[in-house]
Structure 1
Amino acid sequence: MAEDVVDLCAALLRFDTTNYGRGEAAGEREAAEFVAGHLETVGVPATLLEPAPRRANVLARVPGADPDLPALLVQAHLDVVPADPGEWSVPPFGGVERDGYLWGRGAVDMKDMVAMVLSVLGAWSREGRRPRRDVVLAFVADEEDQGACGAHWLVEHHPDFFAGCATAISESGGFSHHVGPHRVYPIGTAERGTSHLRLTATGRAGHGSRRNDDNAVLKLIAALGRVAALEHPVRLTPSVRAFIEQVAATLGVPVDWDDVDATVARFGAAAKLVENTVRNSTTPTVLQAGYKVNVVPGVATAEVDVRTLPGTVEELLAAVDAALGPDVRREFLNHQPPVQAPVDSPAFAAMAAALRAEDPEAVVVPYCMGGGTDAKAFSKLGIDCYGFAPLSLPEGFDYRAMPHGVDERVPVEGLHFGARVLDRFMSS
């Protein structure tokens, strides 16, 4: 059985758990069986649940020394996005270790976290240790699509398994980010909501050579132009405000709350962590209309990626509706509201302490994630969800280009660092 975090991660990367979206996937079963087998070996009984063939989830609970304390949920997904081998310099499912990195699809999104958690449980088993509070484990399917076979299904059909969980940790936070001479570690305390929209315009079908004042394509294009041109106002959530205040103090940058964009622009490399989360966004991504160049279609559709900050959903949708006008209707393809957790909680303080124990110069800050995670599912149960999958990254390593990117990889030393940090946090 693999015990070292690097060996565990390499083994997980060799399972092709590609999620193609729209319900099509290679399946997580073999990876889930590997995880469950490791848990059983270290004395943690595991349950496999499959809401659909090969779409496997693993649930487990590690009893803590004080069962009266609220439990900690550690959740991670087993599926990955597609990878074209022709674009990669190594086989994307080879789990290759080279040049101080472990390469493969899922290396940072997020089989690294799975491996770090499994290595911590292995250390506890070998050393006869147990955590202070119950630790609930959920290694899930389908995060890279809608979660219908993963977190959202579990929350709907098996909520009792998560009873007593007050705090959860998962992906997209706790990694080092070099900002000048400083190492900033952002912990995810919020994430924008995801409201994927389908827009539909209808008109009069006809011959392309004839005048047509009821052209669905023209209606849709005009509406899309107005949606794309929306100027979304700055809306500072607690997480974003705290990030700006703390990073500005670290860098010695004055904060101008009347011109947040100018303030963020002076953050250097840290600007990318916040620039997309000071306001909402509406981004057209898909267009579909027509089947022949000389035929005016009767229907034209588009899809728009809409991201919303906590407390702004109704405001944003009202602005979209006003921009669409009467000729275009909208419907939700996916509507998951934003989530946020306290930036001043004991859990956040414990995460910061665990990071500083391994890196005394760590500057730990809260931040709002621009995208989405399975936190949107588990937060429905009243659980405060944080992005905390710690890694120590070398200067110049573009971590944000790794998830879903070509030649995804994670530094070997970063994995060892993350496992130590998680051990400290999960133990205490």
Structure 2
Amino acid sequence: MTYKNEQLSEEKVFKDPVHRYVHVRDRVIWDLIATPEFQRLRRIKQLGTTNLTFHGAEHSRFNHSLGVYEIVRRIINMFEDRPHWNKEERLLSLCAALLHDLGHGPFSHSFEKVFKLDHEQFTQRIIVGDTTINQILEKVSPGFSQKVADVIGKTYKDKLVVSLISSQIDADRMDYLIRDAYFTGVSYGHFDMERIMRVMRPIDDQVVIKSTGMHAVEDYIMSRYQMYWQVYFHPVTRSAEVILTKILHRAKELFEDGNYTFKLEPVHFISFFNGDVKLDEYLKLDESIVQYYFQLWQDEDDEILRDLSERFINRRLFKYVEFNPNLQMKEWMKLYKLFQYAGIDPEYYLVVDSSSDLPYDFYRPGEEGERLPIHLLMPDGSLKELSRHSDIVEAISGKKRTDHKLYFPKDRIEELEDKQLVKQIKQILYGQGEVENVR
């Protein structure tokens, strides 16, 4: 029996709070899970700083990756004897599902933003690079690792395989919505996943949904909408992300300045500061390492780095007010000057943060980041785009919701000795009248 088709002598299972069990029978999958690159995902939290808002959100990218694999495994079992499904793509689909988040760094999106990284590119680099993952995939067949990378990069020729882990209703989204709802303790993310999987059908190059399952899909889309605004974009979580981002910016600025001496040289960050990150260096950096530096930076000589690190470690977060930069730029400029006068660096302590989400979109050809719509399979065999048939989905289709907040250290403001200055700042922040004289 070839390595590609080799099965374990008995099925292995992972006990899972969301799917009850994650089933593994393929030797390839079992070997991939055991690699250092995949085990690293145990040390990357799925939701970054969200555990500072919802204390149960301690689950990892490892948990989620196993969950996505399990959903795809179940979908493929249901597709097995259906036309349009190519059985030869089974192992490729399972490997892509398992490895789709392999390149996430510590605190994921905040980290990417500061250092201008892309976790999908790093996922592909890990898969095709000099790694244990690559060695295992190449044992399946020469070039197999590139196929897996292409699926994750959405460039693989069989778009049906791509859509299993990357579409508007895919295994990735289904797992993280239910898993994140479970660990945060909220009710918003729950929907009937079993029902959705039962009404999925492979048609040509996409997965479609039997029209009888439309209401389960409506529920899924509304769950996603609620999770984004109640959990993922929670303003307290965003406050922690703002501070995290500013810590990394400050450390980078001090390093680039060349005149500052860290008490402990930040060796794990140097390649990130220089913008030349080698793959082995990327894989060595996880959240435990980052937290270690934050602990140390509480004792740094630089006041800003010291203060921000202490805030993050001890959850002394910034407060926030509603703020629209498109309409309130004059107020922001006044605050900027007042913060400077008060000796509070506005570059680090006066931060506008914006969140936006498009819960569902229909097909817009040629647009950047175009999304393939969800199609319903009608009783007569025709396909109908979801928002044309669902009043609920039509109501939110193509409607981007954006939210802006202004974050600031309320405690630093209140500690100022100049009480008139405190009053001026608060008047602008809390809208208690116009300030005439800004110093």
Instruction: Find the structure with the greater CA-based Rg.
Output: 2
TM-score exceeds 0.5: no
Compare the two structures and name the one with the higher helix fraction.
2
TM-score if structure 1 supplies the norm length?
0.24
